[in-house]
Structures are given as C-alpha cells and as structure tokens.
Amino acid sequence: MDLRFHDTPPTDAEREAVDAFLGEPPDGWTGGPREARDAHTAAGGQDARDQRHLLLPVLHAVQERVGWISPGALNHICRRLTVPPADAWGVATFYALFPTTERPPRVVHVCDDIACRDRGGEALCAALEKEVGPAGAVIPDANATWMRSPCLGLCDHSPAAFLTQAGTEPLERLAGPITTGDVVSMVHHGPDAPLPERVPIPQAGDPTLRLLRRVDVADPTNLDEYRAHGGYAPLRRALTLGPVGVIREVTESKLAGRGGAAFPTGRKWDAVARQPARPHYVVCNADESEPGTFKDRVLMEGDPFAVIEAMTIAAFATGAEQGFIYLRGEYPVARERLHHAIDTARDRGFLGDGILGTDFSFDIEIRKGAGAYICGEETAIFNSIEGYRGEPRNKPPFPVESGLFGCPTLINNVETLVNVLEVLRIGGPAYATIGTRGSTGTRLFCLSGSVTRPGVYEVEHGTTLRDLVTRAGGVADGRPLQAILLGGAAGSFVTPADLDLPLTFEDVRTAGVTLGSGVVMLFDDRADLPATLARIAAFFRDESCGQCVPCRVGTVRQQEVLARLAVGRPHGSVATELVLLDNIARAMKDASICGLGQTAANAVESAITRLGLYRTESAS
C-alpha cells in the first residue's frame, strides 16, 4: 500500500458496510469552522476530514461484514474519510483483529497465553493441529479457520476461545473453559455450537462486598433493579455536592488508581477540572489486555450501569460533556450490556441533555478496540480513538492538559471509576478508614492458574497474599506451590515464602514487586516456568508498537535469549546469556517511551533473582 489509491474497487458488501456506517456520501462541504477537538460531533454535511476519528469503527464495520480488510475496502474508506491510503494501511495493520489478507468469515481464536497454558491450552492447540489442521489454515468444508491468540481476558474460565463470525448478522462469542471438541464444534457450527456456561463469581451474594455487591445478584440489564440496589444514589449526591464537593470527597478518600500506577484519583480529577481550555473529555480505559487480568470484564458484564454512573459523576466533577469507553475488542458481552446501559440511562434521563432535570449534560460513546495491548496505555488510547495508530505519546504534556483531541482529559480504568460510587455512598473520610493508611478501600484481584476456585475476589487492602489464596481454595488438587505471578505479565514472580506479604501499595513497593493490574496467578510444581517466561517474552515482542528502538529491539532480543534458554541451547554459557538479559532490561527500562518497554523485563528479572531460574545452570 502506498500514498496513491489502487485500482481495486470495493465489493458490494464492503461498500454497503462502509456507507451504512458513515451514511451516504455528502454532496459537498457545507462550510463552517472545522476544529480537531470537535471531531466527535462530525456527522451529516460536516467535512469528511473532521471524521478521521471514525476510521477505527468503520474498519470494524468492514471486518464484521466480510471478515477482512481488502485493498478495495480500504480504498473506499480512504475516499470517504479523505485519509491517505498509506496512513489508513498503517492503522489497519496495527491491530491484530484486522487481517489484511483474505480469511474465512468464521475464525476461532484459541488462547495459548500463560493462564490458559497452565490449564491445558497448549495441549488443546496441539490436539487441534492434529484434528482440524494447523493454525491459520482454511478448513474447506467449514469455510473457517482457527488461530492461536494472546490472553482473551477469560482466565477464570481457562482455557478460552473467541469466536468471530462475519456476515450480514455478525456474531462474536467468548467462551471457556473449552475442550478440543468445543473448538471443533465452533469451527464447524459457529454460532450454533453449544458452549459451556459461565459460573458466578466466587463471592456472589457476600454482604460485605462493595464493588462486586451487584455482580451475579442483580439483573445487569435492568435499570430499576440497579436502582433498587443503590444505583444512581451516588449521582444524586454528587449533583447536591457540586463539582468542588465531589472532588473533595474523592481526595479525602485517598483513592489511588487501580490501573497499576496508583496515582491519586482526586488530584487527577482536580487537575482536569482546573484547566481553562474547553471542551473536557472523560475516557474510561476498558482495554484490559494484561495477561491474567479480567476484573474489569466482570464489572462491565455484571454491573454495567455502575460504569455509566461513575463516568457521569466524573464528567460532572471535571466539567466534561462527552465521554468515551475504550473497550477491549474481545469483550462482546460487555459491549452489548454497556450499549444497553447507555441507551437505557439516556432514555430515563440519567444521561444526555439535562441530566435529572439539571443543566448538566453528558453523553458516552463506546469505541471498540481491535487487539492491541499497547492501547491500554492512556495516550495510545487517545491516538486510537482519533483514528491513528495506537502508539503512545511523549509526556509532557500530560492528559490532564492535552489529551483526547488535544483537550484536557480525565482517564481512569473501570475499577477506579466504580470505586467512586462507594466513595460517594459512604463519604470520603469513611472510605479512607477501609484498608490501610497508605492504601485505602478494597481491591479486586484476579486469581487464575493452578488455583482451586479461580475468579475475581474483592478484599480490603492489607489482606495477605496467603489469605487471598486460601479464600480461593488454595492450590488446585492440593499440589505444592512453585511460584505466584503478581501483577500480570508486566509484574513479578514471588515465592511461597512471600505468602505473608500484605497486599498494599506500600508493602509491595518495599518488597520490590507491584500489585499492577491485580493479577494473582498460581503455578504448582508441575508448571514449566521456563516455557512460561518464553511465552511472556513472546507476548511483549508481539505487542510492542515498535515506535521506540529500546522496546522494539529489546523485546525481540529478550525473547530470543529466553527461547534459547528454554530449549537448553544458550549462545555461549548460561551466565553470558543472563548478563545479556540484564543489559537488555536496563536499556528498556531507562529509554523506552512508555510502560510496555519499561516493564517488559520485570517478570523475567524476578524469575531469575527470586526463583533462581537458570542460576543453577549459570553456576555450573
């Protein structure tokens, strides 16, 4: 693909998909000012160049209709949006869920990432290769294919698979735990394949729950039931307190961000509210793609109105009129329920113009991601929404000053936002008494791997790792515990000797590890940790956006070293390879633009220093 259009025309189906989403081509520009910050309002006769932000959703429209992005479809999209072909090609090829070579309309993505591998995912993939053929090969009698996939966010029901069916009535299904027979059925029968039912969260109905109290108890599609369980009382209190009062409550709660950085939420909200530039935006980061993380999916599927209410409160406090939920592309149930919640809230006066009879107006739009881990980084989300490659931006300026469309932007993840409802329900000072002095409130942890009862668990900060594992039934099958991955693929390994570690920001910092995205993944004595490390390294190599040299080259070199060590074929001695790994890690940490490169070696380093992996070979 180059700067010029190709001669390939779109098919009728591709043209219909694009025009159905964008509307019929306008006769011409109707005049008036055009500013990038107003791009989200582009519609009707407004100049096409102000619709660049529609590139990602229109690519989804074509993908859902025909199953791949052809040169003809891309030509038509580029002409409609006046985007250079090379530019659009760069965006389309950035995302894993947008194939640019022809693919069957039905695809089954089978997870082979670390949690699913530990629960038989690799053996399942090997069985599929024998039964239906290699990954990526077309299965003629089914007009389908299957592919290996990174983490699908269903680690509590691993091994997992994600079915996509393109056509006039596209379908997506996320299912687990699945067997080889389930995948074969999905390949041949698509949406008609019987799939396992999800089980409720382990703590469903526990009266002490705060964030999870409605999940698997109340009907997530029923607004009246949501209100009967306390829903929208926090918004009414916020409207009474006023923006300054809301921010004061959040600040007094000492709520810290739950996305990994643990930045004080009240300080961030106040910084956005004080910005004189307009408009302001609120973005909910719902693109959790960290291997082992699934807490936000559980909240969005089980309590979608809570996400909408929390965003509305955030908008009221910071002076925003427009919000975006950047949602992971592999979460079809969450997307359906959030869409329903938005439409229902708007119909009932909780969203849109004049909320609850006031002069406050706010609305929300969902933007579907397309399979890019890097888009969990806050500035990469902005680029993706605006219709560019999801590459992180240099900071400063920070999002509170210049974020989405160059405007002041508040961005929080799902768990952080839902915590605000509890802050307003009981008051900031009362919230600050929960947990510890330095880590207030409750925290959601994602337990997976070799654990008896995997799932999302809500506990107060200060709960020990041992107590959390015990609540989940301990190690599955009573096996000895070998290691725990804390914080996700970008987190750190700890040993059974660390089980009495209190789960607080201050305690894990002192211990030299991190809570990260709340991952607690157990590995018993049967786990192949070298293979797990090699898979983590391969994940970061694949997910690096390639923008900066330290990460682009470092993740490749790290993966190569670990692949050699995993098969026992080091270049030179093991000690030489470990020195090389250390040098690579230092370079990535010191010079990478964003957190992906800066944390890509964390798990590797901890496995070597804490677990002693490869140290025996090095000494010998």
Please give the full DSSP string across 325-343, using - where no structure is assigned.
EEE-TT-HHHHHHHHHHHH
At residue 110, the pLDDT reads: 98
Q: Give the C-alpha separation, 94 to 87, whole Å.
A: 11
Residues 147-188: pLDDT tens digits? 999 999 999 999 999 999 999 999 999 999 999 999 999 999
Q: Give the C-alpha separation, 480 to 494, whole Å.
A: 14
Helices (H), 28-70: 55-66
pLDDT tops 60 at residue 74: yes
Alpha-carbon distances, residue 528 vs 117, 151, 366, 567 (angstroms): 10, 18, 39, 12
From the CA atom positions of the chain, what is the Rg in Å? 24
pLDDT tops 70 at residue 95: yes
pLDDT tops 50 at residue 29: no
Residue whose pair of structure tokens reads 């996700």 in the numeric block: 488
% of the chain surpassing 70 pLDDT: 95
Indicate the burial class of 143 (C-beta count within 10 angstroms; 0-12, 13-18, 19 or more).
Answer: middle
Q: Model pTM?
A: 0.94
Q: Give the C-alpha separation, 75 to 521, whole Å.
A: 45
Q: Give the C-alpha separation, 377 to 361, whole Å.
A: 28
Q: Residue 7: pLDDT band by 50, 70, 90 thresholds?
A: confident
Cα dihedral across residues 408, 412, 414, 416: positive or negative: negative
CB atoms within 10 A of CB 388: 19
Residues 267-314: pLDDT tens digits? 999 999 999 999 999 999 999 999 999 999 999 999 999 999 999 999
pLDDT tops 80 at residue 34: no
Burial annotation 170-206 (CB, 10 A radius, 16+ → b, else e): bebbbbbbbebebbbbbbbebeebebeebeebbbbee
Q: Give the C-alpha separation, 539 to 371, whole Å.
A: 12
CB atoms within 10 A of CB 33: 6
At residue 42, the pLDDT reads: 38
